[in-house]
Structure 1
C-alpha cells in the first residue's frame, strides 16, 4: 500500500494561480490536490481521463460542454473523459479540493521531470 500526504508533495504552479500536487497513483486511478487562487482560470481542454473531484474550500465555476456549473465546499463532481471543460475561481478566496483520474495520470503534463 502506498500512502502519499499532501504535506509530502510540493505543488506545481501549472498555470498562473493554479497549484497542483500529484498524490497517490495506482493501476486504475490517480489523485491530485488542487488550489486555485481568486481570478485564476483553467482554459478549456479535454483529456481521455474521467475526472471526479471534491471541493473542500471556496467556489469553482466549471464550464463543461458549454454549460456552467458552480461547485462549493462539500460538492463532488464528475467530468466524463474527452469532454471539453474549463474552470474559473470567480470568488474572493482560494478554492481547494482533490481530484481523481481514471485511467491514472501518474505523470501529468504539468509535472516537472
Structure 2
C-alpha cells in the first residue's frame, strides 16, 4: 500500500490534538499537529511508543519526570508507563506505536 501524508484527513483525537493516522498490521504512526496549550492528560497504554518532536516545544511528563522537548528530541515510552504533555507552542509531533493503537483506527 502506498500513501501520501497530504491525502490523509486529520482527526481531532482530543481538543487541540489533530492527527493523521497510519496503521499497518503491527504498528501505528500518528503525525500530530498540536495547538499551543493543548493538553494530553496523564494516561498509560499497553503499546510501546516512540515520540519524535518535529517542531515546537512540548512539555512531557513520563512517570513523574517532566522535561521540555524541542525539535529533534526523541522519547521512548515503555508499555504501561504513565505519561502526559502540554504544547508550550504550536507543535508537530510524530508518534509510533506497537502494536497497533486500535482505538485510533
Same fold (TM over 0.5): yes
In 1, Cα distance between equivalents of 2:11 and 2:40: 14
Deviation at 1:83, TM superposition (A): 0.5
1:17 counterpart residue number: 16
Aligned match of 2:103: 108
SS of equivalent to 2:103 = coil
Q: Pick the aligned partner of 1:61 from 39, 59, 67.
A: 59
**Paired position in structure 1 for 2:84:** 86
SS in 2 for 1:7: helix
Which ranges of structure 2 fall in alignment gaps of 5 or more residues?
none
1:85 is displaced (CA, Å) by 0.6
Displacement of 1:16: 1.3
- Contact kept in structure 1, 2:56 and 2:88, CA below 8 Å: no
Q: What is the CA distance between 1:104 and its match in structure 2?
A: 1.5
Q: Name the CA distance, whole Å, in 1 between partners of 2:5 and 2:50.
A: 18
Over the aligned positions, Cα root-mean-square deviation in angstroms equals 1.4
Q: How many equivalent pairs are there?
A: 105
Would you identify which runs of 4 or more consecutive aligned residues in structure 1 move more than 4 Å? none
Question: In proportion to residue count, which structure has more helix?
Answer: 2
Any gaps of 5 or more consecutive residues in structure 1? none
